[in-house]
Structure 1
Amino acid sequence: MILLNTQSNTNAVVIYNFNISSDKVFEAWIDPEKVKKWMFPKGDIQRVEIDGSVGGSFSFVDLREGKEIDHRGEYIEINRPKRLVFTWGIPKESPDAARVIIDIVSTKTGCELTLTHELHPEWSDFAPQTEQAWRNMLEAMDEVLT
């Protein structure tokens, strides 16, 4: 069981501009075949399972140093193509989970995505690394989608 952190006081925030529609960016978050192409760009993604409905869950398994890391979460809010909220955790390493909020706003040239990863207080020192990891993934998503 993943326990959602409700006492977070540190957020990792990334803003990224895409030159593609908010619909395409949103779908890239919940389409397993697309997620396989951009999630963990420096890793080796093994499996992606997604039940893209409110209350549905996901599992993204990547291989790091010969070890499978299973990132799991549950979808809390889905408002196509504007907002996606989900929990994020690695149950084998900790029962705690963070909350990730994706807000997508259409622009004249495509859309702007704001990702907010609410960090557990124990992980607040990792905000810069968390932001960079998400930025790398969003850049990989951009390459896959354009």
Structure 2
Amino acid sequence: MNDYSTITLHMIRHFNVDPAHVFQAWLTPEMMRKWFFTLEHTNKVTTNTPQVGGGWEVVDHREGTDYRAIGEYLEITSSTKLVFTFKMPQFSDTEDTITVEFKEVPQGCEMNFSQCIIVPHEESWTEADIEKASKEYHDGSEHGWNLMFMGLKELVETGQISYKGY
């Protein structure tokens, strides 16, 4: 049996602004620190080198704990596509891959998001354990991204985020 399995989370979101504006919210540290794995009032670090091979890092401070997310850009196509890795080293050595595509639509922008999630297995797990863990990873990731995408939508459409906590 493998020591891990993979699942894919797919999400689609619509924004009432052009794709370039949403694309920049994924790459500009001043915008990232307001929604991407953090909120402005809990953010300690946001760095980004938006080029293939470049990295990004976000450190969010919640309830006395620092949560660090890091990754590397694998593909960047101006205003249309981002592919990057995602890892939270304090929790796991696994590295997910995220693809975000931006398409112009009559109402503004359609964003297609997918995350290939690595689900580590414990040695004694049965198929039922793996299925349960896969569902938990999927649902937990979907919940987190839903909250972040609500903030992203507010940010790109109004310039600010009213939501103050995850």
TM-score relative to the length of structure 2: 0.78
8 Å Cα contact 1:82/1:103 also seen in 2:
yes
Contact 2:23-2:80 within 8 A present in 1 as well: yes
In structure 1, the partner of 2:129 is none
Name 2:25's counterpart in structure 1.
28
> Aligned-residue CA RMSD in angstroms?
1.7
* Structure 2 stretches lacking a partner, 5+ long: 121-132, 158-166
1:43 and 1:64 in contact (8 A); partners too: no
Number of equivalent positions: 140
Return 18-27 or 128-137, whichever deviates more: 128-137
Q: Residue in 1 aligned with 2:137? A: 126
2:9 to 9, 12, 19: 12
Gap regions ≥5 residues in structure 1: 1-6
Partner of 1:83: 81
Indicate the structure with greater strand content. Answer: 1
User: 1:25, 1:8 → 2: CA distance?
Assistant: 31
User: Once the 2 structures are TM-superposed, how far is the Cα of residue 65 of structure 1 from its aligned partner?
Assistant: 2.1
Task: Point out the structure with max Rg over C-alpha.
Answer: 2
8 Å CA contact retained: 2:102, 2:110 = yes
Pair 1:116–1:42, CA change in 2 (3 A): farther
Q: Does the aligned pair in 1 maintain the 2:59–2:68 contact within 8 Å? A: yes
Percent sequence identity over matched residues? 28
The residue aligned with 1:145 is 156
By relative contact order (CA 8 Å, sep 6+), the higher-ranking structure is: 1
Between stretches 39-48 and 98-107, larger displacement belongs to: 39-48
